[in-house]
Chain A
Amino acid sequence: MSDKPSTSEAMIKMHVALIEAAATRIFPTTSTPGASEAGVINYIKRLLDEAFPELVPLYRSGCRALNRHAKRRFGVGFLRIAVTDQDVVLADFEAGRVPDFSQASDFFEVLRTHTMEGVLGEPAYGGNRDMVGWRLVGFPGHQFGYSDSYINQRVDLEPVAVDRPYPNEEEWRAKSR
């Protein structure tokens, strides 16, 4: 193994806090867990390392633009402004209203998509820690199947994270007979 850091590690050192802060505003922690508790930052780090290294430049320039735009509007960098002001900055990105960064809305959409994948995706990819995202929305994960009684009711099964083996296959088959 080489000591050279992977692409996203090199970037993340500078920008990890910015990405995490922005993701936290996209899916905030309230009385229930948000992006932070789901481990979205782990999901995005792994995504940039393993799946989409070609997106590193967009993340890098996006993070720099977040800071520039925060300074322009509020006098200091993104991490030092109030969360309500962070929301204003992010709304400008969403609408493409960032004068010196033409990819602002692209960056916002990518970040939003990846944040939601990190909240709602399979835990094996680094996010959705302890399936907090699935618990929040009421998705019981990858069940082997569903017996009739779950139609029209809140499904109160413990979520299942992995495809195989199905921990409840025996039980389900017994029920379905």
Chain B
Amino acid sequence: MAWRRLIITLAVIAPVLWLLAFGFQRDARYIKTPLIAKQAAPFTVTLFDPPTGVREIVLSERSGSTGGARKLSLADLRGRAVFLNFWASWCPPCREEARDLEAAWQKVKDKNLVFLGVALQDTEKDSRAFLEEFKITYLNGRDESGKIGVDYGTWGIPESFFIDAQGRITYKHVGGIRATLVIAKLEEAAKGIVSAQEGKGDITPVR
């Protein structure tokens, strides 16, 4: 009788506890991306001029694409591994990772790789000031309508996508990312290796 009672009580309580444990451990904000190993959504951004005192990066030097034009389509970058980073000047982790990203870019800029930053929910003035402040030399554009952000399922910036030469997303990292991880994942992308899971760092929810 005592045993039966115990088992029944446990049978009722255990699932409730499990449910609570599951619920409280889960980050309700976290949105798992369905985009890994999928084709990256095409987009075109108007590029910012490089910060003052920085040598202009002429994409056509290495790509032979739209020389001189300040617009860039993702399709132009087919054939190269792309590091795509969504950021905003008002997001603290974005500021935190900015120097790391620039350092990573300096290390790999001579390889057949592309860094592309896209400012989300940001004014042109603020974005430009951010690029100036961190002396960012890699390509950067602005998502004016927020459509690119939605196309990539952004919800907490910074968000970084790694795209291989065939335009397939190989890895996604939500939140601040370190230079070493950027380089490692970009090299994987260059080889077409798709990661099983996305990564996570410090994030700021979008507005």
**Does B bind A?**
no
Chain B contact residues, CB within 8 Å of chain A: none
